[in-house]
Amino acid sequence: MNATLLPGDVVLTRSTSVLGRLIRICTRSFGEKRSKVNHVGIIVDGGVIHEAVLVEALLNVCRHGLWEHYAGTANEVAVYRATNVPSQDMQTVVAEAEEQVGKKYGFGKIIAHFLDWLLTGAYVFRRLTQNGDYPICSWLVAHAYAKAGYNFGVEPGAADPDDIWDFVDERTDYYDCIVPLGPLDRSS
């Protein structure tokens, strides 16, 4: 796999863990097809896939190598690139993502997402957790893009990994699939 990734590329992942499965269940709207992904991050340093660096919200918002973190694991990874975002706007997106590094994970935002899911997707509890001090993965990516004036079809605070996946996967006029959803094989 020799894909070249650029700063601002959106990285979506699907894990087989119990938590990953629960996230996919709770981000699916009623009547919607099954959620494909449960996590999202953003490339901040480009290069071939073996060298690219991403920022993502794990227990803390961290910066690390995409390949080192995901290759050879049970996780599936996809990468999408916005084709309608000028380079100066993408610099804003990347700078906002980098600004989040070191912050603690927003477990309260996960609870708010779950409570809104119980209300059939209403944007009620998530409105109460807009504070950026404790980001979650989808908040991190959606707010980085919102800082430059872009969104994923929903309010940035309401975005979940499935919303971002649906938006980038269906908007082929604005997003290119650079790496299709699948495992990163260490042997390639």
Residues 41-80: pLDDT tens digits? 999 999 999 999 999 999 899 999 999 999 998 899 999 9
Evaluate whether 43 touches 70 at the Cβ level (below 8 Å).
no
pTM of the model: 0.86
41: nearest Cα among 128, 101, 108? 101
φ/ψ bin of 8: left (φ > 0), alpha (ψ from -120 to 50), beta (otherwise): left
The DSSP line for 129-162 is G--TTS--HHHHHHHHHHHTT--SSS-GGG--HH
Range of the domain at 51: 4-180
Q: What pLDDT is recorded for position 104?
A: 83
Decide if 100 is inside a domain: yes
| Domains in the chain, number | 1
Residue at 55 is within a domain: yes
pLDDT digits 0-9 by tens, 4-37: 999 999 999 998 876 666 665 656 665 667 778 8
Q: Closest by alpha carbon to 38, among 8, 7, 75, 67?
A: 75
Q: What is the CATH number of the domain that holds 42?
A: 3.90.1720.10
